[in-house]
Amino acid sequence: MNWNSIRTKLIAFMILATIIPTTAALIISYVTTTNALKERAVVENQNLLYQGQMNLESDLEELNRNSLTVYSDPEFFRSLYYSHGNISTGGRQSATMQSMYHAITGTRQVYLYVDGQRESTLYAQDIARKASDISLYREIPDLQGRKLFIQPPHALHTYGFQLAYPYKENTKVLTLYRVIERVPSSERLGLLAIDLDMTFLSRISSQLFQPENEQLYITSEDGIVMYSGDEARIGRPLGEDWYKAIMESGQQQGYFEHNDNIYVYNRVQTSISNWTMIKEIPSSYILSSADKAAFINILLLAVSFLLIIAAMIWISVRITAPIRELVGFMSQVKSGRMTVDIESDRKDEIGILYRRFSSMMDTINNLILQEYKLKLANRTNQLRALQAQVNPHFMNNALQTIGTLALEHDMKRIYSLISALARMMRYSMYNTDKPVTLRTELNHIKDYIELQKERFENGFDFRYDVEESTLELTIPKMLIQPLVENFFKHGMNPVARDNYILVQSRRLSPSLVQITVEDNGNGMPEKPFEALQAQLRQLEELDLEQLQVSSEDEEDQGGIGLINIMTRLRLYSRGKSGFNLENNQPRGFRVVLTIHVEGETDEGIDRR
């Protein structure tokens, strides 16, 4: 072997350069892979628990709102002062309890006890059962002065009623108790209980862990297990050391290792609960994946080592000469000879390189020829762009000339209408991508309304209720005018004499402004309205980057409807504003925009 040969030196160098890093990688890989997999498992489970937390908080808040029906329904609240022997009273209570029963998935039964009447009602299996002159069911726990309480899972109660189909003994539910008080005093009028089967928690929790390898706990503020993959733990207190460590940490979320297990936790805080969601992952389960990954890395590195040695020998023996020939062709091209004949009958990578280089030279020569065509096409495009710019200016100037002529002939109404149309054209032509003040947008709407009043012979009433403090709010251009235009396109009844459209703005807080466009037109049919609501909800679930792509697609189609307006508003406010549609009764349509003022902060933004 000739050690002075470049080929020999190259092979020896590549072998050493491969062995040293490979050996170091094998040593480091096993250590780093284990830690990396643990960190990745923690991050993935934190994200998973966060999603579960959001879903559970949403369900609990929905349960809370459902139970508040006892206050939001005036007829039901008044019925508590009368005996359910009164047909109206009994019917009102049964109807409200039926609504609660069907509002939340997993509701097993709804129980109501009225203190003053000593009466109880149980709604279950779509049947309302009533009892009079009885005491509060004895197995209801002592609420200890609490007005709202969620009882941990327990056996399903009959509340003292005789049922045609008795419940199974192992049927467990969790119960929301709400004390009903005489508002605004704190005098107790009765008690509402809503029993929920375990699907209320299991349909969310079952997606958060693998029962064969992991464990999940949802605990109440008292440390009682509300849900667990181990059914035997449900309804019992947790007293383990790792649970005490979580409670003492005081953190909203986090993770730690204890006794060869990793614990990831998130707080679930709502107006009716302060629960904790905990996931227990055995370290052995994660490390088994690390061992497999380390074995695969070792195998890949070994194969790579062999391939590199073989490749270097191949390169040294078979490829050096063709590469040098190709370098010669490149030198000719560099010297200015652009028609080099490059051919090779090789089928390997060098042959591909020859053909690609030849194709590249053909492309370069073609690009040189096409450059003149591109310059000509560019000049044609510039001319078309100039024509597109001239036409709107010509129309605007022509309208001004006609308006002046109308004024000279003492046709002031015609001059007023032409001036309004000219202002609308100028508003539409300039700075379409820049935001405008609400005052400017409303002036544009007034011009539009003036033209429509002439068209429909004042067959509608335009109502304008705008707070002075909102006029300098900046919004995307053409945000409100399309909402007004929709009334004339789809909603106005030309036969009716009481048509009206209302534009209203008011400041809800220093950082929130609400703009409402309302009419009493034909409204929108139920099925298209539901389809539109579904499409809006889908867009609300998109992040801003996905929403930007969706907005560009709709702009390509020329869209400026309700979907376009909602998309532009979310992009403009970075997702901080709200958009809500309502079909008024008995007829009419309302669009409510809730806009977050830039640079301010506010709690409780309505993002419907």
Distance (Å, whole) CA 519 – CA 97: 35
Most confident of 395-404, 430-439, 476-485: 476-485
| Short-list 327, 376, 333, CA closest to 353 | 327
Mean pLDDT of the chain: 80
pLDDT reported for residue 558: 38
**pLDDT band for position 99 (50/70/90)?**
very high
pLDDT reported for residue 369: 55
Query: With 90 as the cut, is the pLDDT of residue 217 above it?
Result: yes
Query: With 80 as the cut, is the pLDDT of residue 156 above it?
Result: yes
Q: What are the distances in angstroms from CA 23 to CA 28, 212, 270, 297, 300?
A: 9, 37, 54, 12, 13
Rounded mean pLDDT, 399-426: 70
* Lowest pLDDT segment from 92-101, 319-328, 343-352, 439-448: 319-328
Rounded mean pLDDT, 347-367: 76
- Give yes or no for a contact between 518 and 584, defined as CB atoms under 8 angstroms apart: yes
pLDDT reported for residue 54: 92
Rounded mean pLDDT, 224-244: 89
pLDDT reported for residue 552: 52
Query: With 80 as the cut, is the pLDDT of residue 95 above it?
Result: yes
Per-residue b/e over 12-51, b at no fewer than 16 CB within 10 Å? eebeeebeeebeeeeeebbeebbeebbeebbeebbebbee
Strands (E) across 565-607 are located at 578-583, 589-596
Rounded mean pLDDT, 124-132: 88
Query: With 80 as the cut, is the pLDDT of residue 380 above it?
Result: no
Rounded mean pLDDT, 480-491: 87
**pLDDT band for position 148 (50/70/90)?**
very high
**pLDDT band for position 143 (50/70/90)?**
confident
Rounded mean pLDDT, 583-604: 75
pLDDT reported for residue 557: 42
Q: What is the pLDDT of residues 193-210, one digit of tens each?
A: 999 998 888 888 888 888
Most confident of 147-156, 326-335, 545-554: 147-156
Rounded mean pLDDT, 57-79: 89
Query: With 90 as the cut, is the pLDDT of residue 458 above it?
Result: no
Q: Per-residue DSSP letters for 386-432?
A: HHHHHHHHHHHHHHHHHHHHHHHTT-HHHHHHHHHHHHHHHHHHS-T
Q: What is the pLDDT of residues 522-539, one digit of tens each?
A: 888 888 888 888 888 887
Percent of the chain with pLDDT over 70: 82
**Which residue did the predictor score with more confidence, 101 or 7?**
101
| Short-list 170, 224, 216, 230, CA closest to 197 | 170
Q: Which amino acid is it at 504?
A: Q
Query: With 90 as the cut, is the pLDDT of residue 418 above it?
Result: no
- Give yes or no for a contact between 448 and 462, defined as CB atoms under 8 angstroms apart: no
Rounded mean pLDDT, 483-490: 87
Q: What are the distances in angstroms from CA 423 to CA 401, 414, 426, 455, 588?
A: 14, 14, 5, 18, 30
Distance (Å, whole) CA 575 – CA 533: 18
Rounded mean pLDDT, 451-475: 88
Q: Give the pair of three-digit tokens for residue 349.
A: 């990578």
pLDDT reported for residue 607: 39
pLDDT reported for residue 22: 75
**pLDDT band for position 550 (50/70/90)?**
low
**What phi, psi does 160 have (nearest 5°)?**
85, 5
Strands (E) across 57-117 are located at 107-114
Q: What residue ranges define each of the domains in the chain, with the CATH number in brackets?
A: 32-311 (no CATH), 338-430 (no CATH), 432-596 (3.30.565.10)
Percent of the chain with pLDDT over 90: 21
Q: Give the pair of three-digit tokens for residue 44.
A: 């993935």
**pLDDT band for position 272 (50/70/90)?**
confident
**pLDDT band for position 402 (50/70/90)?**
low
**pLDDT band for position 248 (50/70/90)?**
confident
**What phi, psi does 277 have (nearest 5°)?**
-105, 120
